[in-house]
Structure 1
Amino acid sequence: MKVPINIALVGNPNSGKSSLFNALTGLNQKVSNFPGVTVDKKTGIARIAPQLEANIIDLPGTYSLYPKSADEFVTYDVLLNPKGADKPDMVLIIADASNLKRNLLFCSQIIDLKVPVIIGLTMMDLAKKKGVEVDLAGLERELGVPVVAINPRRNKGLQQLKKNIELIAQEKFGAPARDFIENHQLAPAVVEDIRRIYPVSSDYAALHVAVNYDELHFLDKQQQGAIRNSLQQHGFNKTKVQAEEIMQRYARIKHIMNGTVVETDPLQQQLQTERIDNVLLHRFWGYLILLVVLFLLFQSIFWIASYPMDLIDAGFGSLSGWLSEVLPDNKVSDAFINGIIAGLGGIAVFVPQIMILFGLITILEDTGYMARISFLTDRLMRQVGLNGKSVMPLISGVACAVPAIMAARNIENRKERLITIMITPLMSCSARLPIYTIMIALVIPDRMVLGFLSLQGLVMMGLYLLGFFMAILVAAVMKLFIKIREKSYFIMELPVYRAPRWKNAAVTMVEKAKIFVMDAGKVIMVISIALWFLASYGPSGRMDAVHAKYEQLQAGTTDPAQLDELDKQLQSEKLSHSYAGIIGHAIEPAVEPLGFDWKIGIALITSFAAREVFVGTMATLYSVGDAEDNDATLREKMESATRIDGTPVYTLATGLSLMIFYAFAMQCMSTLAIVKRETRSWKYPIVQFVYMTVLAYVCSWIVYELFK
Structure 2
Amino acid sequence: MAVTVSPSRPHDTITGTPETGSQLTRIALIGNPNSGKTSLFNQLTGLNQKVGNFPGVTVDRKSGFAQLSSTRRAEIVDLPGTYSLYPKSLDEKVITDLLYDRGSAGYPDFVVVTVDASNLRRSLLLFSQLADLELPAILALNMTDVAERHGISIDIQALEQELGVPIVPMNARKGIGVAALKIVMAERLATHPVRFWEPNDELLPLVRQIRYYFNLHNDYLALHYAQQYRSISFLSVDDRQHIAELVAQSGFDATAWQAAETIARYQRINEVLLEAVTVTRTEKREPISNRIDKVLTHRVGGYAIFLGILFLLFQTIFAWAQYPMDLIDQGISALSELIQSSFAGPLVRLLTEGVLAGLGGVLIFIPQIALLFAFLAVLEETGYMARVTFLMDKLMRPFGLSGKSVVPLISGLACAVPAIMGARTIESWKDRMITIFVTPLMSCSARIPVYTVLVALVVPDRAVWGFLNLRGVALMGLYLLGVVAALGSAWVLKTLLKARERSYFIMEFPVYKWPRWKNVGITIWQKVSAFVWQAGKVIVAISILLWVLASYGPGQRQDAAEARVRAAAPAVATAVPDTTASQELERRVASVRLENSYAGLFGRGIEPVIRPLGFDWKIGIALLTSFAAREVFVGTISTIYSVGQDADLGTVQEKLRAEKDADGQLFFTPARAFSLLVFYVFAMQCMSTLAVTYRETKSWKWPLGQLVYMTGLAYVAALVVFQVLK
Please give the range of the TM-score, normalised by the shorter of the 2 chains: 0.7 to 0.9
Residue of structure 2 in register with 1:450 after alignment: none
Residue of structure 2 in register with 1:605 after alignment: 624
**Are the structure 2 counterparts of residues 141 and 675 from structure 1 closer, same or farther at C-alpha, using a change threshold of 3 Å?**
closer
Pair 1:196-2:220 in alignment: no
Corresponding letter in the other structure for 1:252? R
Q: Equivalent of 2:148, from 128, 134, 139?
A: 128
Secondary structure of 2:98's counterpart equals: helix
1 CA distance for matches of 2:335 and 2:143? 53
2 CA distance for matches of 1:533 and 1:634? 27
1 CA distance for matches of 2:642 and 2:521? 39
Deviations 1:358-403 (CA, angstroms, capped at 9, x unpaired):
3222222222222222211121123334544555775787545765
Corresponding letter in the other structure for 2:97? D
Does structure 2 retain, via aligned residues, the 8 Å contact 1:346–1:634? no
Residue of structure 2 in register with 1:493 after alignment: 508
Q: CA deviation at 1:72?
A: 1.5
Residue of structure 1 in register with 2:15 after alignment: none
Residue of structure 1 in register with 2:439 after alignment: 427
Report matched runs for 1:101-250 at 5 Å: 101-168=121-188, 174-176=191-193, 178-183=194-199, 187-219=203-235, 227=243, 231=247, 235-250=251-266
1 CA distance for matches of 2:293 and 2:571? 78
Report matched runs for 1:57-68 at 5 Å: 57-68=77-88
2 CA distance for matches of 1:302 and 1:457? 18
Deviations 1:614-666 (CA, angstroms, capped at 9, x unpaired):
45687689689989x79x48979967864772899999998987675455334
Q: CA deviation at 1:582?
A: 2.6
Superposition RMSD in Å? 4.4
**Are the structure 2 counterparts of residues 318 and 619 from structure 1 closer, same or farther at C-alpha, using a change threshold of 3 Å?**
farther
Deviations 1:284-303 (CA, angstroms, capped at 9, x unpaired):
01111111122222212221
Residue of structure 2 in register with 1:42 after alignment: 62
1 CA distance for matches of 2:96 and 2:218? 15
**Are the structure 2 counterparts of residues 284 and 183 from structure 1 closer, same or farther at C-alpha, using a change threshold of 3 Å?**
same
Q: Equivalent of 1:695, from 687, 691, 713?
A: 713
Secondary structure of 1:95's counterpart equals: strand
Corresponding letter in the other structure for 1:697? Y
**Are the structure 2 counterparts of residues 655 and 20 from structure 1 closer, same or farther at C-alpha, using a change threshold of 3 Å?**
farther
Unaligned segments of structure 1, at least 5 residues: 412-416, 447-452
**Are the structure 2 counterparts of residues 188 and 5 from structure 1 closer, same or farther at C-alpha, using a change threshold of 3 Å?**
same
Does structure 1 retain, via aligned residues, the 8 Å contact 2:417–2:692? no
Q: CA deviation at 1:563?
A: 4.1
2 CA distance for matches of 1:208 and 1:266? 39
Deviations 1:412-461 (CA, angstroms, capped at 9, x unpaired):
xxxxx54763453221499x856235446767899xxxxxx999999999
- TM-score, normalised to structure 2, is 0.80
Residue of structure 2 in register with 1:570 after alignment: 589
Secondary structure of 1:7's counterpart equals: strand
Q: CA deviation at 1:63?
A: 0.7
Report matched runs for 1:508-523 at 5 Å: 508-519=523-534, 521-523=536-538
Unaligned segments of structure 2, at least 5 residues: 1-19, 462-467
Determine what percentage of the aligned residue pairs are the same residue: 43
**Are the structure 2 counterparts of residues 441 and 35 from structure 1 closer, same or farther at C-alpha, using a change threshold of 3 Å?**
same
Deviations 1:116-148 (CA, angstroms, capped at 9, x unpaired):
111112222322333323222222221111121
Report matched runs for 1:57-96 at 5 Å: 57-96=77-116
Say how many residue pairs are matched. Answer: 683
Greater displacement, 130-139 / 333-342: 333-342
Greater displacement, 434-443 / 455-464: 455-464
2 CA distance for matches of 1:534 and 1:625? 19
Pair 1:254-2:270 in alignment: yes
Does structure 2 retain, via aligned residues, the 8 Å contact 1:343–1:619? no
Corresponding letter in the other structure for 1:569? R
2 CA distance for matches of 1:640 and 1:146? 76
Deviations 1:537-594 (CA, angstroms, capped at 9, x unpaired):
4452564254144235333665524344334333333333333223224334655676
**Are the structure 2 counterparts of residues 332 and 183 from structure 1 closer, same or farther at C-alpha, using a change threshold of 3 Å?**
closer
Greater displacement, 656-665 / 375-384: 656-665
Corresponding letter in the other structure for 1:16? G
Secondary structure of 1:587's counterpart equals: helix
Q: CA deviation at 1:12?
A: 1.0
Secondary structure of 2:195's counterpart equals: coil
Greater displacement, 547-556 / 664-673: 664-673
- TM-score, normalised to structure 1, is 0.82
Secondary structure of 1:61's counterpart equals: coil
Report matched runs for 1:338-349 at 5 Å: 338-345=353-360, 348-349=363-364
Secondary structure of 2:569's counterpart equals: helix
Q: CA deviation at 1:525?
A: 4.1
Does structure 2 retain, via aligned residues, the 8 Å contact 1:367–1:498? yes
**Are the structure 2 counterparts of residues 42 and 482 from structure 1 closer, same or farther at C-alpha, using a change threshold of 3 Å?**
closer
Corresponding letter in the other structure for 1:602? I
Corresponding letter in the other structure for 2:152? V
Secondary structure of 1:151's counterpart equals: coil
2 CA distance for matches of 1:263 and 1:653? 74
Residue of structure 2 in register with 1:382 after alignment: 397
Does structure 2 retain, via aligned residues, the 8 Å contact 1:619–1:634? no
Does structure 1 retain, via aligned residues, the 8 Å contact 2:535–2:692? no
Q: CA deviation at 1:527?
A: 4.0
Corresponding letter in the other structure for 1:61? G
Pair 1:286-2:305 in alignment: no
**Are the structure 2 counterparts of residues 537 and 624 from structure 1 closer, same or farther at C-alpha, using a change threshold of 3 Å?**
farther
Does structure 2 retain, via aligned residues, the 8 Å contact 1:197–1:227? no
Residue of structure 2 in register with 1:449 after alignment: none
1 CA distance for matches of 2:24 and 2:648? 51
**Are the structure 2 counterparts of residues 210 and 59 from structure 1 closer, same or farther at C-alpha, using a change threshold of 3 Å?**
same
Corresponding letter in the other structure for 1:156? I
Residue of structure 1 in register with 2:377 after alignment: 362
Does structure 1 retain, via aligned residues, the 8 Å contact 2:137–2:192? yes
1 CA distance for matches of 2:241 and 2:540? 55
Does structure 1 retain, via aligned residues, the 8 Å contact 2:420–2:439? no
**Are the structure 2 counterparts of residues 562 and 607 from structure 1 closer, same or farther at C-alpha, using a change threshold of 3 Å?**
closer
